[in-house]
């Protein structure tokens, strides 16, 4: 039974890590999309 509990712990930890990674990726994409275009100096 201890092996099953350990496996479930790993699954839950992996799910949380994947969720955080996805949130960070979306934040990066959102900030990159809202950056003003670069202009060259006159």
**What pLDDT sits at residue 1?**
66
Within-domain flag for 19 = yes
Within-domain flag for 9 = yes
**What pLDDT sits at residue 16?**
98
Within-domain flag for 36 = no
Nearest-angstrom CA–CA distance, 37 and 39: 6
3-state class (DSSP) for residue 22 = helix
**What pLDDT sits at residue 30?**
87
pTM (predicted TM-score): 0.62
Kindly provide the b/e burial profile for residues 21-33, where b requires at least 16 CB atoms within 10 angstroms of the residue's own CB: eeeeeeeeeeeee
Alpha helices per DSSP H over the chain: 2-33
**What pLDDT sits at residue 8?**
94
Q: Into how many domains does the chain fold? A: 1
Residues 1-42 pLDDT 10s: 677 888 999 999 999 999 999 999 999 988 887 766 667 666
Largest separation between any pair of C-alpha atoms in the chain: 71
**What pLDDT sits at residue 13?**
97
Within-domain flag for 3 = yes
3-state class (DSSP) for residue 38 = coil
């Amino acid at each position: 039974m201890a092996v099953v509990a350990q496996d479930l712990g790993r699954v839950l930890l992996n799910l949380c890590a994947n969720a955080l990674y996805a949130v960070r990726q979306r934040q990066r994409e959102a900030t990159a999309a809202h950056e003003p275009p670069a202009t060259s100096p006159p």
